[in-house]
Amino acid sequence: HAELAVSNALGGIAVQTFFLAIADMAYRRANLEHAAASAPNMLQNGLLISLLAWIMLAPNLPDVT
């Protein structure tokens, strides 16, 4: 099912890019990078990165019963 996985990943990236382009056109007060750089957003991003790191490290950790 490698073809399906690649198609799903590329489709997800395309949809995210589309929505970012629409948001960039709709939000005219500032660029999106500046608007998203608030403290709660940065804290949520840090949490997301740490959770994704745990997922990536999970196969290398010893089995727990």
Residue with tokens 């709660």: 40
> Could you identify the residue written with the tokens 């056109």?
25
Q: Which residue has the tokens 């608030």?
A: 38
Q: Please determine, for residue 29, whether its predicted confidence score (pLDDT) is greater than 90.
A: no
**Mean model confidence pLDDT for the chain:** 85
**Helices assigned H by DSSP within 1-65:** 2-26, 32-35, 39-57
pLDDT in tens, 36-62: 788 888 899 899 999 999 988 888 888
How many whole angstroms separate alpha carbon 41 and alpha carbon 38?
5
- pLDDT over 90 (residue 30): no
